Chain A
Amino acid sequence: MYKKILEKYEPKKENLISILHDVQDSNEQNYISDDAVWEISQYLNITPSHIHGVISFYSMFSFKPRGKNVIRLCESPPCFLRGSENILAKLRQLLGIKIGETTEDGLFTLELTACLGVCGNAPVMMINEDVFGDLTEKRVEQIIENIRRRAK
């Protein structure tokens, strides 16, 4: 199933992280499945428990299904000082989920992240690969609404 992705890489341990990224991105639910872990472990000759360690070490990876849109709100001090707490409350209210959870429609997962390196635009969040800065509660509402509309 993941043969195409795996064959892009030499079967070396060093390639694990790149493979995990590739495998996760290819998955609609933004996660690395058991089957994928098994195939990767066979390909690189490392154990599933080792892969678990790596996946769980990096917050970008997940071995549990996530929403189509993974929201990562920055929890670092600069964003906090600029009101990320209110943004988090707004997101939780809009989505009806807690941190780490996925909405029932499978559209959103809410996560926190360390600094995204754009403190000049704090508070900041990422949705999948896109960065959204200078967030206000109003702007967050619009962003979420937009995604919901496009999904219909």
Chain B
Amino acid sequence: MAKQLKLWIDNVEVEVPAGTSILDAAKKAGKYIPTLCYHEDLRATANCGICVVEIEGQNGTKRACSTAVWEGMKVRTNSKKLRELRRTLLEMILADHEVECPTCEQNNRCQLQDLAYLFGVDEKNMPKVRKPQPVDDDSFAIVRDPNKCISCGRCLIVCQEVQTVHALTIDGRGFEGKITTPFDKGMLDSPCVNCGQCTVYCPVGALKEKSHVEQVWDALLDDEKYVVVQEAPAIRATLGEEFGMDPEKVTVGKMYAALRRLGFDRVFDTNFSADLTIMEEGTELITRLKEGGKLPLITSCSPGWIKFMETYFPDLAENVSTCKSPQQMFGTLVKTYFADKEYLNPAKICSVSIMPCTAKKFEANRPEMRDSGFQDVDYVLTTREFVRMVNEAGIDFKNLPEEKADDLMGQYTGAGTIFGATGGVMEAAIRTAYYVLVGKELDNLDIQAVRGITGIKEASLTVPTKELGDVELNVCVAHGLGNARKVMEWIQSGEKNYHFVEIMACPGGCVGGGGQPYGSSIADRARRGLSLYKEDKDLPARCSHQNEDVMKCYRDFLDAPNSEKAHKLLHTYYFERNAMSGEATKEVTHKH
């Protein structure tokens, strides 16, 4: 254990382990030192200077985020000098920031706005100095407004160090220094995988999703269009926080009710196709195990991960499941299975998804995602966009009645719901694969070893199969692309031998997706994950093979898991991508 050090923060005595920053020590002493560039999940960079403090016996000021405490330190967090310093810094930052608060995505959440108000900053004190720059909005998923960027560096840290994607860089230095994409080519022509973590960590609205709100309103208000909606598992774990309800409980019934009130003609649930994904992917795993196919099998639900794999690990493409993501399986079925059942013209159907994810916007626009004969998913709304629409429509979310999803593609099991948390796809797949291989359900459906917020989780299970005898199944779960990179390197080098690997691009899995509320911390993500596991526990059916809507879909339409028809509609193929431009250069797997 690290040595305990005693110090004083504004005359309050506090003891913390050696190595603690002044910022954290102050928290323990009940004092929040103002910060702007600092985020608890990210390495402190000391870029902004707002967290300055004075230390007795020292000249000048120190930045609390990146100064470690020492024995007997006497810290002053407030003084006339510090107030003036902070205010001047804020004025200088604002001079470089395009102030358009009323229409900004981050209005009322913006940390710069908060601080400017708290410190009584007069925005007019500093003349605007930077020339306007074009907004980078060519990407399918992310819009970057350099005029709002305050160069705090959070996006850089998350893109380079957490995700190891390196789609953002620093250009120039000093006053001319700015954050941009490599070689100023814009997000579309960068290695950006659209994970959107930069949008979650940006404190000021310089990074946000490419909005589909207007297009969805147009579709909803167009009588000719039949608008169908699906919502990802992670959404229900987040809405509570956004609408002032219990953040530890999932919100399902009110979510359906809100969607109906927005005007969606049919309210289904992505959890249905999560269960379907397990049937397809589980079958794929079993086939590979039995027939000696390429192992490990790696999951394919996360579109950020898929583009990352195509860019940095195309040699492992054959290991990646050919299954489309639940969103895309759903999209294909809406314009085929559902359209057939309801005698609807698929050309008139508008298929909308509500996702915790920005990469889903890119995925929906991938040219190969048109197996229904149309673009399978027309528009993707992030959690943030959905909340905005509900609020715009004046829906009193909190007091809505609990409603049910529509039949055919609305039913789901606990296995579908845990897709939203890291390890959930793995757990769901094991439940069903075990059942198929052994002929009975697992005694304990909770597979704790693959749950939780640890970056890389490994587990080994013995499966007493009917045909192959006892099979030792080695599995690995990684979330966050930095962790995914490590696991892929282990697989490449042969250092580890897994049978099945789950990868989610975002830390925490989909509950930590790039389309989730701004500022989502790792702690928020862990809590949302727990809510999903709680919902799973309370559901009558907890295994995908028990989903009656899914079984009906196979009986009436798809024949069987991995059937020819299922392959045609629910499976896909991958490309190799240029690691500088992100452009697809050649197919590396093929459609069966």
**Are B183's CB and A48's CB within 8 A?**
yes
A125 at the interface (CB under 8 A from B): no
Tell me which of A20-28, A50-58, A88-96 binds B.
A50-58
Determine chain A's interface SS by DSSP, over half rule. helix
Of the listed residues B160, B167, B173, B580, the one surrounded by the most CB atoms of chain A closer than 10 A to its CB is B580
> Is B579 interfacial (CB-CB < 8 Å)?
yes
Which of A38, A56, A57 is in CB contact (< 8 Å) with B580? A38
Chain B residue numbers with a CB within 8 Å of A52 are 169, 171, 182-183
A63 to B182, CA, bound (A): 10
Q: Are B183 and A34 in contact (CB under 8 A)?
A: yes
Interface of B toward A, CB cutoff 8 Å: 160, 166-173, 182-183, 191, 579-580
Give Cα A53–Cα B177 distance, bound, in whole angstroms: 10
> Would you mind naming 29 contact pairs between A and B with Cβ atoms under 8 Å apart?
A34-B183, A34-B580, A37-B183, A37-B580, A38-B579, A38-B580, A47-B160, A47-B166, A48-B182, A48-B183, A48-B191, A48-B579, A48-B580, A49-B167, A49-B169, A49-B182, A49-B191, A50-B169, A52-B169, A52-B171, A52-B182, A53-B169, A53-B170, A53-B171, A56-B171, A56-B172, A56-B173, A57-B173, A63-B183
CB distance from A62 to the nearest CB of B (A): 11
In the bound complex, do residue A48 and residue B166 qualify as a contact, i.e. CB atoms below 8 Å apart?
A: yes
* Secondary structure dominating the interface of B: loop
Chain A residues with CB under 8 Å of chain B are: 34, 37-38, 47-50, 52-53, 56-57, 63
- Cβ of A49 and Cβ of B172 under 8 Å apart? no
Nearest B residue to A38, CB-CB: B580
Which of A52, A53, A63 has the most chain B CB atoms inside 10 A of its CB? A52
- Complex CA gap A37/B166 in Å reads 14
> In the bound complex, do residue A50 and residue B172 qualify as a contact, i.e. CB atoms below 8 Å apart?
no
With A and B bound together, what is the CA distance between A99 and B512 in angstroms? 45
Q: How far is the CA of A56 from the CA of B171 in the complex (A)?
A: 5
Closest to A46 in B: B166
Q: Which residues of A contact B191 (CB under 8 A)?
A: 48-49
Q: Which A residue's beta carbon lies closest to that of B181? A: A49
Check B173–A49 contact: CB distance below 8 A. no
- For the complex, what is the distance from the CA of A53 to the CA of B182, rounded to whole Å? 8
- List 10 other contacts, CB 8 Å, given A48-B182, A48-B183, A53-B171: A34-B183, A37-B183, A37-B580, A47-B166, A48-B166, A48-B580, A49-B166, A49-B168, A56-B170, A56-B172
Inter-chain CA distance A95–B183, complex, in Å, is: 27
Residues of A within 8 A of B160 (CB): 47, 49
Q: In chain B, what residue has the closest Cβ to A51?
A: B182
Least CB distance from A69 to B in Å reads 23
User: Which residues of chain A come closer than 8 Å to B580, judged between CB atoms?
Assistant: 34, 37-38, 48
Chain A residues with Cβ below 8 Å from B166 are 47-50
Q: Give A49 to B165 CA distance when docked, in angstroms.
A: 9
Q: For residue A22, give the distance in angstroms from its CB to the closest CB of chain B.
A: 20
